[in-house]
Amino acid sequence: MGGGEARPPGGGGLRLARDGKGPEGGGRRPGPAPGPPPRGFRWLRRQLRLWRRRPRGGSKMATAVTGALGLLWGWLWSERFWLPQNVSWADLEGPGDGYGYPRARHILSVFPVAAGIFSVRLLFERFIAKPCALHVGIQDNDPYLAQPNAILEKVFISITKYPDEKRLEGLSKQLDWDVRKIQCWFRHRRNQDKPPTLTKFCESMWRFTFYLCIFCYGIKFLWSSPWFWDIRQCWHSYPYQPLTSGLYYYYIMELAFYWSLMFSQFIDIKRKDFLIMFVHHLATIGLITFSYINNMVRVGTLIMCLHDASDFLLEAAKLANYAKYQRLCDTLFVIFSAVFVVTRLGIYPFWILNTTFFESWEIIGPYPSWWLFNGLLLILQFLHVFWSYLIVRIAFKALIRGKVSKDDRSDVESSSEEEDMATNMKSPCGNSSSNGANRVNGHMGSSYWAEE
């Protein structure tokens, strides 16, 4: 054929229909008949054909792995575990009313919302919290830098940040420095690693704003919910309880916020109880997710609102502390202590646990995930007792001594050290004869009183 034009081999390719509208017997678009496939493609197609004809011995392992994953998946979403008797996942596929029934795939929407919450937080801290901090007199200053000294720096990094008397005397002889000067150097060096008060104020103001807003939303939503006034409504017609838009948004926002805290704590102020708070956030996310998938969302909204009732008061007390409004800080912390004890030791066990243990047993009966859910809630109650003891102890000392101790779970070592740092910016080493007394007053044991 002239002109170098490729011609389809006899019987090969796809012939055009006689009417010119498309290929014979097919639904493809009209066009010229394709030429022969490229040589490399023919080779690849031949290799694929040979691979399909290979011995199937290796497929046994793939089949076994697939079977094991299928068993694991089936066990993970077992209806016998998640749902009451005579209820299947198919029963919950119906639309119901509003947003239908809770489904596990709804949880996926949490992650973009969490990213959005984190973005809003960055803007909030930059354009709202920081100006508020500057307005109340919190300075945007760099920490006081300790005098460079290789020997003391090595001791600080490798050995201890709190040298005892024996080590202080040895360093004094080695450097020909006064012991008091060495103590001053270590205090400045510890303060040098601390984040500024401005950063802590912005973080607390963000948490205060979110906790207050979500608590107000929760109260507004629950006020018109029948199970807020009659808690037995949490179990009537369970699990055929469809979602409403308000309930869905409430759950998604709470869960997204804790996911944002889970990831942001890696870039936030590093606190002494980083691991404890990581586990706490993980447990909170697990409980919220578990109750959503299991459609225990009605009682879940009550639990979330109950816990939010005291969180914003704690953050408000921190804000007053950073702004050096000590009397306001003391008042807010005492109010927080009272609300915490009433909600966690009164309302939670006698209202929430009573309905999840006894009323639900009477109405729907126990099943495997019911036991797990109540077990987690019972563990949470034990933690409430422990935290309440610590908080009451701090509040009692505040009433006796007239000053609330600083948050020991935070990165603040003692109230006197920040005062010493401010004083030492004027003089190399201020008078600290009262440092011991201030340390006792400002550093009262291991009091994890910030969040659950």
Give residue-wise pLDDT tens across range 156-175. Answer: 888 888 888 888 888 888 88
Q: Could you tell me if 270 and 344 lie in one domain?
A: yes
Check pLDDT > 50 for residue 309: yes
pLDDT score at 134: 93
Q: Could you tell me if 176 and 218 lie in one domain?
A: no
Show the CA angle centred on residue 155, arms to residues 154 and 156, nearest 5°: 90
pLDDT score at 446: 31
pLDDT digits (tens, 9 = 90+) for 244-299: 889 999 999 999 999 999 888 877 767 666 777 787 788 889 899 999 988 999 99
Residue 75 belongs to a domain: no
Q: Could you tell me if 184 and 260 lie in one domain?
A: no
Q: Could you tell me if 308 and 185 lie in one domain?
A: no
CA distances to 218, 352, 382 from 349, in Å: 20, 6, 10
Residue 221 belongs to a domain: yes
Q: Could you tell me if 181 and 253 lie in one domain?
A: no
Alpha-carbon span 103 to 242, nearest angstrom = 11
Query: Which residues on neighbouring strands pair with residue 23, listed in sequence order?
Result: 16
pLDDT score at 150: 84
CA distances to 144, 179, 263 from 173, in Å: 26, 9, 47
289 token code pair:
């997710």
Identify which of 251, 264, 242 has the alpha carbon closest to the alpha carbon of residue 214: 251
User: 4's torsion region: left (phi>0), alpha (psi -120 to 50) or beta?
Assistant: left
Query: Which residues on neighbouring strands pair with residue 16, listed in sequence order?
Result: 23
pTM score of the predicted model: 0.70
Other CB atoms within 10 Å distance of the CB of residue 402? 11
Domain boundary among 160, 193, 226: 193
Residue 58 pLDDT level (bands cut at 50, 70, 90)? low
Residue 398 belongs to a domain: yes
Q: Could you tell me if 216 and 232 lie in one domain?
A: yes
pLDDT digits (tens, 9 = 90+) for 311-364: 999 999 999 999 999 889 989 998 999 999 999 999 999 999 999 999 999 999
Q: Could you tell me if 117 and 242 lie in one domain?
A: yes
Look at residue 23 and give its three-state secondary structure.
strand
Residue 96 pLDDT level (bands cut at 50, 70, 90)? low
CA distances to 42, 52, 61 from 58, in Å: 26, 12, 6
Question: Domain containing 186: what range?
Answer: 150-193
Q: Could you tell me if 187 and 200 lie in one domain?
A: no
Q: Could you tell me if 248 and 266 lie in one domain?
A: yes
Check pLDDT > 90 for residue 43: no
Residue 15 belongs to a domain: no
Check pLDDT > 70 for residue 372: yes
Cβ-Cβ contacts under 8 Å for 308 (sequence gap 6 or more): 211, 214, 215, 218
Per the prediction, the chain carries an average pLDDT of 76
| CB neighbour class for 14 (10 Å; exposed up to 12, middle 13-18, buried from 19) | middle
Question: Do the beta carbons of residue 213 and residue 311 sit within 8 Å?
Answer: no
pLDDT digits (tens, 9 = 90+) for 228-239: 999 999 999 999
Residue 112 belongs to a domain: yes
Q: Could you tell me if 167 and 239 lie in one domain?
A: no
Q: Could you tell me if 188 and 255 lie in one domain?
A: no
Residue 83 belongs to a domain: no
Residue 171 belongs to a domain: yes
Residue 168 belongs to a domain: yes
Residue 140 pLDDT level (bands cut at 50, 70, 90)? confident
Supply the CATH number for residue 175's domain.
Answer: 1.10.10.60
How much of the chain exceeds pLDDT 70, in percent? 69
Q: Provide the domain count of the chain.
A: 2
3-state secondary structure 163-204: CCHHHHHHHHHHHCCCHHHHHHHHHHHHHHCCCCHHHHHHHH
Q: Could you tell me if 117 and 187 lie in one domain?
A: no
Check pLDDT > 50 for residue 132: yes
